[in-house]
């Protein structure tokens, strides 16, 4: 290989001058991203590349690239973000630049809000709720109902109004480089809209103050919470790129137990449900979380939709759903999975294919600690398919489906009804992923 030249071309010098000028103009201007293959790219107006996963299909994903100056915003508080988003039905292209970390649990003046603030005036208290629905007296055959359940729902509604950010169509939301941009305690809701880009943001501490007890969920009941950090419901053409998702600083290991079950305050990291379609999830970091990515809300979610591409992401300290896929055509490639227990998050499985999902998983890399079994990396209900190739486990090519089926009573099918073609950037070997993805994924990488 020839030694790289350290001389800058005229084009490169011009790009650097342009970049310096933009930086000098401040965060209100565009940020020019250096790209060795494509020259300079304006981060805020960048669109999804051609053939980069399902979100590039058809009309592609351009977000707010056509936004005018009146619909280009820089926000640093919850109130500013709400104002910039405007009405969820307004399809005017808009670009929202997030500078710094926005705390969703604040009021319009910036005052910090607590769970007690949301519960105030509703009549809800956890102690009263626990007393009302103790299985020893209430039983286990029906969902909670009555005064305390109504009060819990009212308190949860108050929190939801504060922490849910409804994203309209034709929107780009991007973290300003160098500002530790992100949203803590909040949920971006992309519902029944088209053409949305979410990039360069750190999502943390998305917590439900008021989980509901469901004694009928499983053999022993469960506490179920609301709020995914990013939730897609009936959304189309969505690109989620270079974001970081974590429960931190409050990990599940700190959750108490009531009625013998974990009082779970976290839901999903990035869920893709209710007939969402044409989604590309690229170069994100998913860490310290349980139920991470759900594709399809139920076994009867929309047939012919739920087409998702998941590539070049890092999954570390994830218990399950990386992803759990139903019904759709899902391409999972060039991801790095570290299934070492982290901060109490002990992995159960990585990929679950069920409800006739058609998953193609190729050229991914799994790091297994000593004693862990490759047979537990996959899961399914006996109806889903996983067509696997080029997947490495600790550097060794492994037929994950064959290993799983040899140990399971519900075999994964090995053939799918489609062939991926939107594969820009697909690497034919997974060997280098642990190294390359360590510095090229998550928020804060884009400059």
Q: What is the mean pLDDT of each run of 10 residues along the chain (447 residues)?
A: 36 35 38 46 94 98 98 98 98 98 97 98 98 97 97 98 98 98 98 98 98 95 97 98 97 97 98 98 98 97 96 98 98 98 98 98 98 96 97 98 95 97 97 98 95
- Which residues are CB-neighbours of 189 under 8 A, at least 6 positions away? 164, 165, 166, 167, 231, 233
Q: What is the pLDDT of residues 213-255, one digit of tens each?
A: 999 999 999 999 999 999 999 999 999 999 999 999 999 999 9
pTM across the whole model: 0.91
**Pick from 38, 54, 3: which is nearest to 332 by CA?**
54
CA–CA gap between residue 293 and residue 13 (Å, rounded): 42
| Two structure tokens written together for 292 | 């991470």
**Residue 326 appears among annotated catalytic residues:** no
Catalytic residue among 94, 152, 321, 326: 321
């Amino acid at each position: 290989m020839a030694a790289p030249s350290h001389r800058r071309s005229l084009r490169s010098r011009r790009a650097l001058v342009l970049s310096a000028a933009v930086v000098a103009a401040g965060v209100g201007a565009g940020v020019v991203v250096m790209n060795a293959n494509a020259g300079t790219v304006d981060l805020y107006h960048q669109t999804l590349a051609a053939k980069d996963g399902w979100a590039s299909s058809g009309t592609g994903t351009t977000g707010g690239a056509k936004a005018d100056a009146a619909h280009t915003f820089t926000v640093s508080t919850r109130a500013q973000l709400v104002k910039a988003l405007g009405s969820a039905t307004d399809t005017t292209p808009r670009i929202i630049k997030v500078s710094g970390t926005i705390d969703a649990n604040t009021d319009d003046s910036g005052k910090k809000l607590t769970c007690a603030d949301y519960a105030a005036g509703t009549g809800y208290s956890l102690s009263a709720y626990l007393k009302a629905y103790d299985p020893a007296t209430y039983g286990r055959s029906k969902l909670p109902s009555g005064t305390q359940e109504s009060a819990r729902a009212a308190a949860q509604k108050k929190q939801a109004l504060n922490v849910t950010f409804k994203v309209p169509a034709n929107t780009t939301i991007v973290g300003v480089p160098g500002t530790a941009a992100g949203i803590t305690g909040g949920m971006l809701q992309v519902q029944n809209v088209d053409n949305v880009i979410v990039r360069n943001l750190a999502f943390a501490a998305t917590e439900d103050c008021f989980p509901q007890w469901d004694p009928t969920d499983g053999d022993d009941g469960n506490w179920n919470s609301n709020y995914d950090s990013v939730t897609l419901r009936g959304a189309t053409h969505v690109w989620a790129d270079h974001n970081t998702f974590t429960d931190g600083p409050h990990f599940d290991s700190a959750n108490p137990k009531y009625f013998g079950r974990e009082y779970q305050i976290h839901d999903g990291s990035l869920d893709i449900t209710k007939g969402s379609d044409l989604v590309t999830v690229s170069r994100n970091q998913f860490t310290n979380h349980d139920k991470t990515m759900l594709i399809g809300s139920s076994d009867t979610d929309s047939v012919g939709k739920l087409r998702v591409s998941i590539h070049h992401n890092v999954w570390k300290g994830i218990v399950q759903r990386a992803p759990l896929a139903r019904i759709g055509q899902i391409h999972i490639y060039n991801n790095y999975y570290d299934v070492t227990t982290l901060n109490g998050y002990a992995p159960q499985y990585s990929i679950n294919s069920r409800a006739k999902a058609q998953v193609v998983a190729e050229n991914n890399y799994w790091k297994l600690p000593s004693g862990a079994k490759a047979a537990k990396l996959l899961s399914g209900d006996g109806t889903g398919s996983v067509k696997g190739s080029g997947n490495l486990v600790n550097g060794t090519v492994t037929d994950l489906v064959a290993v799983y089926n040899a140990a399971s009573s519900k075999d994964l099918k090995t053939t799918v009804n489609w062939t991926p073609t939107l594969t820009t950037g697909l690497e034919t070997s997974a060997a280098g992923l642990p190294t390359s993805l360590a510095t090229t994924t998550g928020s804060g990488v884009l400059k």
